Amino acid sequence: MKIAVTGKGGVGKSTIVGMLARALADKGWRVMAIDADPDANLASAIGVPAERLSALLPISKMTGLARERTGATETTGTHFILNPRVDDIPEQFCVDHAGIKLLLMGTVNHAGSGCVCPEHALVRTLLRHILTKRRECVLIDMEAGIEHFGRGTIEAVDLLVIVIEPGSRSLQTAAQIEGLARDLGIKTICHIANKLASPVDVGFILDRADQFDLLGSIPFDSAIQAADQAGVSCYDLSPACRDKAHALMAALLERVGPTQGVS
């Protein structure tokens, strides 16, 4: 089961990926969580202590590794291996916490930017390998949009989750993401409404519910805010957050089906 989570910046993607990852791991799933957002904070959302990440670089920043695997040198110009060996990288560079393997991927090259370099070749190949070869539940915390996916990779995603909040700009971004995702071949797309702080917010989402497939919603919770401020996981801090995480997980599994990944 391969799930990508995206949405407008600041809507709470990392919090939701962290909640889902913890809930799935607690239910016995083999889980890999990938932080592919340049504003990387998935580790704290999962509950990984900051000191365990102090010496870990995102894969996209590992220039030495990229050059080694692609055969690139400072004098090779554009001549290097575009499909390097990557099968050993997840185990070698992941951090294990609470039954979850966390991999800091970093930003993947945007389609159409014209940039092809060893680092991006390594990251694209690694992402494709994880999505198509590894038999586990994979959750990807993406930056806004899906431009860093290409054909041959995006088709491996079983479900794209777009996180929205009660605001017009969030819904506009979500609509743009959904349109591009469908153009690339993603068939199953749903939304999670986050930060619903009042009946007005709930009404805003429900009044527009015919515009998208709503998987679930998360009310504004001061415990989530407190966890964020403390740099810890709300899953560890709040029983209500754990209950909500398991409810979202149940809805997600009903949508895509538990096809693989259970240990």
Strands (E), 44-153: 95-97, 100-104, 137-142
Q: Is residue 139 part of a domain?
A: yes
Neighbouring C-beta atoms of residue 185, cutoff 10 Å: 11
Q: Is residue 262 part of a domain?
A: no
Residue 261: which pLDDT band, with cuts at 50, 70 and 90?
A: very low
What local confidence, expressed as pLDDT, does residue 33 receive? Answer: 97
pLDDT (average), residues 104-125: 71
Q: Which residue has the higher pLDDT, 156 or 105?
A: 105
Give the structural domain span for 240: 2-59+94-112+122-255
Residue 157: which pLDDT band, with cuts at 50, 70 and 90?
A: confident
Q: Is residue 75 part of a domain?
A: no
Residue 46: which pLDDT band, with cuts at 50, 70 and 90?
A: very high
pLDDT (average), residues 200-227: 93
Helices then strands, counting H and E runs in the chain, come out as 10, 8
Q: What CATH number does the domain containing 32 carry?
A: 3.40.50.300
The 10s digit of each residue's pLDDT in 215-245 is 999 999 999 889 988 889 999 999 999 999 9
What local confidence, expressed as pLDDT, does residue 38 receive? Answer: 78
Cβ 85 vs Cβ 55: under 8 Å: no
What local confidence, expressed as pLDDT, does residue 128 receive? Answer: 87
Q: Is residue 80 part of a domain?
A: no
